[in-house]
């Protein structure tokens, strides 16, 4: 039977089970947290990002959820420097040019208050005279450092980034895997309902 693991990746952890640096500069990896053999992450989170990571030994499902052509939604909470205006938010929603590609349309809203998240270790840099704002962004693609590049492109650099949900979409049906019940560094097996949602993707 295939394994499906939900993991709350902390800040400063590589999304792989080994580090190719020399032993003197080894970084923390998934191996430090997950003692399950032969599972691999579905997509990636950057070293300096946090949040939900799905791991599995089901290669077909890994491909189905990772490939951008299937447009599975991923939801992030991002803390940005300063307070974005509606013009900036609309640019994020409509899609913007970053380097050699145009981002897809996204769902972007300001969170009414700071989300209830564990403190980050180390904390973000604090600047007394510069306010910050939390955005919820749902993307249907996962390009390298995309959220950070998007917010920087409209003038509001990302200070902290947490993936809070992965959408599972088939036809018009959308279900979500969430961080609920996990603390940074913790993982669990998918529930029976979550397994059914995931494996339904591979039904003919």
Q: Write out the catalytic residue numbers.
A: 46
Secondary structure of residue 62 in the 3-state scheme: helix
61: left (phi over 0), alpha (psi -120 to 50) or beta: alpha
Distance CA(89)–CA(195), nearest Å, equals 35
What are the angstrom distances between the C-alpha of 107 and each of 9, 89, 93, 124, 147? Answer: 23, 9, 6, 25, 12
Per DSSP, helices labelled H in the chain are 59-66, 86-94, 146-153, 192-200
The residue with tokens 């339904």 is 200
Record the tokens describing residue 50, joined without a space.
Answer: 């946090």
Distance CA(200)–CA(202), nearest Å, equals 5
DSSP letter assigned to residue 149: H
Residues 6 or more apart whose CB falls under 8 angstroms from that of 167 comprise: 72, 73, 74, 75, 138, 174, 175, 176
């Amino acid at each position: 039977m295939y394994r499906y693991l939900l993991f709350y990746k902390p800040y400063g952890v590589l999304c792989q089970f080994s580090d190719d640096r020399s032993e003197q500069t080894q970084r923390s990896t998934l191996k430090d947290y997950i003692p399950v053999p032969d599972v691999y992450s579905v997509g990636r989170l950057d070293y300096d990002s946090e949040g939900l990571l799905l791991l599995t030994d089901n290669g077909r499902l890994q491909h189905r959820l990772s490939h951008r052509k299937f447009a599975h939604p991923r939801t992030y909470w991002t803390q940005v420097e300063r307070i974005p205006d509606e013009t900036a938010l609309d640019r994020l929603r409509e899609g913007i040019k970053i380097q050699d590609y145009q981002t897809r349309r996204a769902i972007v809203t300001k969170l009414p208050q700071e989300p209830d998240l564990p403190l980050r270790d180390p904390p973000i840099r604090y600047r007394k005279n510069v306010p910050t704002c939390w955005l919820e962004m749902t993307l249907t693609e996962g390009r390298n450092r995309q959220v950070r590049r998007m917010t920087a492109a409209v003038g509001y650099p990302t200070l902290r980034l947490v993936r809070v949900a992965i959408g599972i979409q088939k036809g018009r049906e959308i279900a979500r895997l969430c961080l609920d019940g996990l603390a940074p560094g913790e993982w669990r097996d998918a529930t029976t309902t979550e397994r059914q949602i995931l494996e339904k993707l591979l039904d003919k």
